Structure 1
Amino acid sequence: MYRLRKEGSSQYTDIHTAGREAEFPISSVMPNTTGSYHCLYKHQSRWSRPSEPLNLVMTGWYEKPSLSAMPSPEVFSGENVTLRCQSQQWFEIYVLYKEGGANPSQISGSWYKADFHIPEVTAAHGGSYRCYSLHSDGPYEWSAPSDPLELRVRGATDDPQLSSQPQGSADSTANASPQSYTVGNLIRLGLAGLVLIILGVVLAEAWHSQRRHQEATQKSLPEQSSRAKEQG
């Protein structure tokens, strides 16, 4: 025997079966059928422990909100991005869901909107997002989903623009951000300036050395000429 129970209700549904699973169909999902469910089974005369709760949510109860990204839906790896869910009416709770994600993120709203902050984005944060709005007194009745928002993380290894680059170049670009590019350029300019200074010092020293040698040679010529006259 398998039993399905809804949290907060004294009613339950039993199904007799000889298999390892049982199905409890709900023909029409309405506010009175939403909620948190768990199941358990009976073997011989003993009942199992309840399963982990499963939340059954109904969407489309309110108008859909809008979802936007700040500063842009295209960001570099390592940057911060904020996804804003905004509605036409006031809601206490907003939910952000990533397609293929495990659990949606749920936060309290501020009047007509809620901001979901994602610090230091990586390739794993890229994908399609939707958001929902709901009231605290109806946690299982959600609005219709917003239009999908595609978050694109540039500089990540899965960027198609980097597929033609060598592996080492793609790996180094994956973790680069505009700030790291600026620092790298400053370091390269500093090293180039240092090399130019060293070359200038070497050339100046060589020029002075050559000039001293020429002056010494010019002084020795009159002395040799005078000695030759005295010997003559």
Structure 2
Amino acid sequence: MMPQLLTLLCTEPLPKPSLRAWPSSVAPRGSNITLQCRAPAKDVVFALRKGNIRLNSSPSLASTEGLAEFHLTDLKNSQAGDYICELYRRGAPSIRSPPSDPVLLLVTGDWPKPSLQAQQRGVVTAGDNVTLQCQRPGNVFGLIRFALLKAGATGPIQLRTTVGKETDFSLQTVTAQDSGNYSCVYFQTQAPFWTSLPSDPLEIRVRETIERNSPEGAETGLGAVGIALVAVSALLILLGAFLVYRCSRRRHGAALHKMAKRSCSSKEPEKVETRDQPEKESRDTSAATVSCLPASDEASQVSRAEEPYGVTYAELDIRALNEAPSSQVEQPLETCVYLTLKT
């Protein structure tokens, strides 16, 4: 008696295990599920119970965390109910761990499916509250419990008990993680836990929002405004440069035109003296006059304006100088020779 008492006093207590159903604790009739019992302990035995009935036991795996899996195949209505798992040490079955939290296994298909509706239609903004209403048919009576399901979850995410035909589920301050397909079922609160078919799925989409004062929102807003300002500034600069260019061209053209006009109007026909023909001074020198180029010839006008002071260009009609005065007639200018006259 004394050794057994010492063994009990020296034995460390066993941790509380956890139990979950995969893929879900709400499954249709005839399907297969797996109940997974897990605890951070070695050299222990896991036991699965339904109520007070021990169903099966399995040794833990050789790892830091012990794990035992219990497979339920070809589900029947009689298998619905609350399940727990516990563990004990080998050779000391009287030393047990605290039981896990119960998992309610529901086998669907006993009653018609309910309907599920959302008060908010369309896309839901993050941070809002979403209300889902599950309503059962009117030919089912008694104390009924509703369960809200989400695709991918291993069990009901909310439970409601009511004697009426409908109940509301509330999703508080939704985020992007709340997006998904939802459905609901109703079932008996006691054995044999008859359960309805699940409702048609209802998709909930949550749209994330960017705060105006957040770095992301500020960067996005300033980026758009900055691009617009740069584009407007570039257009204004181009327009200003074009206007300056047009004004300078107009002023430059007007100055050249005035210069050419003043040069043509101020100069009178001048006498030309050459060394080769001094005797022709008495001839009519009206034909040898200074000829002005057209005002539109901007290049030649600019070149003349750049010549130093004291130099005058004269255009000579060679044919008129060689012929007799009586035979002078107006001839088209063919050859022009420019001589430099010193004043």
The TM tier, using the shorter chain, reads: 0.5 to 0.7
CA-atom RMSD in angstroms: 3.3
> Which is strand-richer, 1 or 2?
2
Contact persistence 2:175–2:208 (CA under 8 A): no
* 1:138 shift after superposition: 4.2
Matches within 5 A, 1:31-180: 31-46=77-92, 47-52=95-100, 53-89=102-138, 90=140, 92-101=144-153, 103-109=156-162, 111-138=164-191, 140-156=193-209, 167-168=216-217
CA separation in 1, counterparts of 2:114 and 2:205?
Answer: 21
Alignment length (residue pairs): 163
Q: 1:18 to 1:78 in 2, by over 3 A?
A: closer
Distance (Å, rounded) in 2 between the aligned partners of 1:133 and 1:5: 24
Please state if 1:13 is matched with 2:56: yes
Counterpart in the other structure of 2:278: none
Partner SS state of residue 61, structure 1: strand
Deviation at 1:15, TM superposition (A): 4.8
Q: Which runs of 5+ in 2 are unaligned?
A: 1-44, 222-343
Paired with 1:75 and 1:110, the residues of 2 have a C-alpha distance of 30
Q: CA offset at residue 78 of structure 1?
A: 3.3
Matched to 1:6, the amino acid is K
Change (3 A) 1:35 1:75: same
How far off its partner does 1:124 sit? 3.1
Distance in 2 (alpha carbons) for counterparts of 1:17 and 1:140: 31
RCO higher in structure (CA 8 A, sep ≥6): 1
SS at match of 1:84: strand
Identity %: 32
The amino acid across from 1:60 in the alignment is G
Alignment CA distance shift 1:168-1:139 (3 Å): farther
Q: Write the distance in 2 (CA, Å) between the matches of 1:85 and 1:170.
A: 43
Question: Aligned AA for 1:154?
Answer: R
Separation in 2, partners of 1:60, 1:134: 10
TM-score normalised according to structure 2 size: 0.40
Distance in 1, Cα, partners of 2:137 & 2:219: 43
Query: What is the alpha-carbon distance in structure 1 between the residues aligned to residue 176 and residue 122 of structure 2?
Result: 13
Find the structure with the greater CA-based Rg.
Answer: 2
Report the equivalent of 1:4.
48
Q: Distance in 1 between matches of 2:164 and 2:120?
A: 21
Structure-2 change in CA distance of 1:110 and 1:100 (3 Å): same
Task: Give the 3-state SS of the residue equivalent to 1:168 in structure 2.
Answer: helix
Q: Is the 8 A contact 2:81 2:191 kept in 1?
A: no
Distance in 2, Cα, partners of 1:49 & 1:59:
32
> Which amino acid in structure 1 is aligned with residue 188 of structure 2?
H
Alpha-carbon distance in 2 for matches of 1:115, 1:151? 15
Report the AA paired with residue 93 of structure 1. R
2:220 and 2:187 map into 1 onto residues whose CA distance is 42
